[in-house]
């Protein structure tokens, strides 16, 4: 039988109220008494049932998600996952608020982080733009005692409670290996297409991709990286310009969003040998392009897993509970036409 608070009180020779104060870290307990209670907890092997304790206290976890608002299919899907969790939050004793900010807007994101301080939430998750003003604001939230998780893209130098996302350097290296192998002896340059190098996930993907290409396929020419700002129209313009400047364009690695525009540019090239195309995130547009043989591979991250992971960790941090690291690892899925789910 599991030990209870009654067992601790009897073992330590104190009241239930004293045990409750020690377990909840409240003041009003003498050091010697606190030590007796803590010794009883250790001796009896007591593990607190946080769910039961929170239910008894009618606790509701208040979590805030700060998300970029733009025409980005992956981010739209990510927001839908947060909305799904928010809709059923009441049954799990949670309140989830969503705050929208313009994509890649450093000042708007920093202001949203500062504004969240006024709510004193139990936890906060946000998609980071890697900039000093954002880091400063995130540190203000953290030092106020609010657990913070970065979501999809991390923040350099920030001691966050959790990063809920894939290993982006590994994703870029994977794309590099696929690109080199798919191209084989075919000649021609490769175009790297970013969303924005202001975000760490895109930089890490580029670094991993370039490293593998230099190590294993050193004769392959990489064109200068271009940034489409996750905007389909801008991505279409940039890819079309690359085709015009390099008729022998052999490969495209798109490691941001805006891929609907990239696909439109591919379709506009007509029949003939197309480039090898590797991109990120399985959406309706990229799925259709795989099925139509317009692109070759999609590297995907599970947005639902990322949202659920952030919620689990933030709740655990609010309770001072441990986290199962393996449960929170977000894997990199590789989809070809042949293994689409």
The reply to whether 159 and 219 lie within a common domain is no
Separation of alpha carbons 206 and 185, rounded Å: 23
CATH number at residue 267: 3.40.50.2300
Asked whether the predicted pLDDT for residue 56 surpasses 50, the reply is: no
Report, as an integer, the average pLDDT of 42-63: 67
Strand ranges across the sheet with 251-254: 226-227, 190-194, 251-254, 276-280, 297-300, 333-335
* Residues in CB range of 17: below 8 A, 6 or more apart: none
The reply to whether 263 and 184 lie within a common domain is yes
The reply to whether 25 and 67 lie within a common domain is no
Q: What is the model's pTM? A: 0.82
- Residues 184-233: pLDDT tens digits? 999 999 999 999 999 999 999 999 999 999 999 999 999 999 999 999 99
The torsion angles phi and psi of 220, rounded to 5 degrees, stand at -80, 130
In a domain, 54, yes or no: no
Domain encompassing residue 142: 61-164+303-330
Number of structural domains in the chain: 3
CATH number at residue 25: 1.10.260.40
- Residues 280-307: pLDDT tens digits? 999 999 999 999 999 999 999 999 999 9
Asked whether the predicted pLDDT for residue 25 surpasses 70, the reply is: no
Q: What local confidence, expressed as pLDDT, does residue 40 receive?
A: 87
Separation of alpha carbons 303 and 285, rounded Å: 17
Strands (E), 103-243: 123-126, 148-151, 162-164, 190-194, 226-227
The reply to whether 19 and 107 lie within a common domain is no
Pair of tokens at residue 2: 């599991």
Q: How far apart are the first and last CA of the chain?
A: 45
């Amino acid at each position: 039988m599991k030990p209870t608070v009654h067992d601790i009180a009897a073992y330590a020779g104190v009241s239930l109220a004293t045990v409750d104060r020690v377990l909840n870290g409240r003041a009003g307990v003498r050091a010697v008494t606190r030590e007796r209670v803590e010794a009883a907890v250790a001796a009896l092997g007591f593990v607190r049932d946080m769910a039961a304790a929170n239910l008894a206290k009618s606790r509701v976890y208040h979590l805030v998600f700060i998300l970029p608002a733009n025409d980005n299919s992956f981010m739209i899907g990510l927001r839908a996952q947060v909305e799904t969790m928010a809709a059923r939050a009441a049954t799990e004793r949670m309140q989830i608020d969503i705050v929208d900010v313009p994509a890649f807007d450093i000042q708007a994101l920093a202001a949203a982080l500062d504004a969240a301080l006024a709510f004193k939430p139990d936890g906060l998750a946000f998609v980071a733009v890697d900039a000093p003003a954002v880091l400063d604001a995130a540190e203000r939230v953290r030092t106020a005692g609010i657990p913070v998780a970065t979501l999809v893209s991390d923040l350099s130098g920030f001691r966050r409670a959790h990063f809920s996302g894939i290993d982006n350097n590994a994703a870029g290296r994977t794309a590099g290996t696929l690109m080199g192998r798919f191209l084989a002896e075919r000649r021609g340059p490769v175009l790297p297409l970013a969303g924005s190098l202001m975000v760490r996930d895109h930089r890490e993907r580029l670094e991993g991709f370039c490293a593998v290409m230099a190590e294993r396929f050193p004769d392959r020419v990489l064109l200068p990286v271009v940034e489409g700002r996750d905007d389909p129209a801008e991505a279409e313009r940039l890819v079309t310009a690359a085709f015009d400047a390099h008729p022998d364009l052999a490969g495209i690695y798109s490691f941001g969003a805006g891929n609907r525009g990239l696909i439109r540019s591919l379709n506009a090239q007509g029949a003939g040998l197309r480039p090898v195309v590797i991109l990120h995130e399985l959406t309706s547009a990229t799925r259709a392009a795989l099925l139509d043989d317009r692109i070759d591979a999609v590297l995907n991250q599970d947005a639902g897993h990322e949202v659920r992971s952030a919620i689990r960790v933030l709740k655990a941090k609010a309770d001072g509970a441990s986290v199962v690291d393996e449960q929170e690892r977000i894997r990199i899925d590789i989809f070809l036409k042949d293994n689409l789910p």
